[in-house]
Amino acid sequence: MRTNRQGSEVKRSLAALDIGSVELSQASVFASPDAEEVLRLLIAIQQPSREALLRGALATAIVGCDAAEIARVSASDSALLGWLERFGAYRDLWHRRGVGVMFRHVLSDLQASARCSPPTTASAGSPT
């Protein structure tokens, strides 16, 4: 393609036909919504005693809590303490084994891949 716009149009057309494609872009991955969510999660893990940061991390697609669940956690000392302890354990793992090991553990522990993966053609539109 000669322009990014042409590439985007081709990608959308292929997607409409259920044909996967990859689009190279000049945009920074660090300015993406996904990167912002990862940053929000990492900051909350690094400072697990800060409840406001924890609530922000709970709202990410990686953790997967909706507003009602976050309100429930905020209203329950035991639920809040459970999340604070969990994030503290993530921080301890980060310091002992490194960010990569910790992040893989977090994704597995929170079953993030099931929530964050794009739907396949067979499962598109079906409830998860």
Distance CA 33, CA 96 (A): 29
Q: Is the pLDDT of residue 124 over 70?
A: no
- Tens of pLDDT, residues 23-77: 666 667 677 788 899 999 999 999 999 999 999 999 998 998 999 999 999 999 9
CATH classification (class only), 32-115: mainly alpha
Annotated domain spans of the chain: 1-28, 32-115
Specify the DSSP class assigned to residue 31.
Answer: G
What pLDDT band is residue 125 in, cutting at 50, 70 and 90?
A: very low
pTM of structure: 0.69
Task: Write down the mean pLDDT value for the chain.
Answer: 84
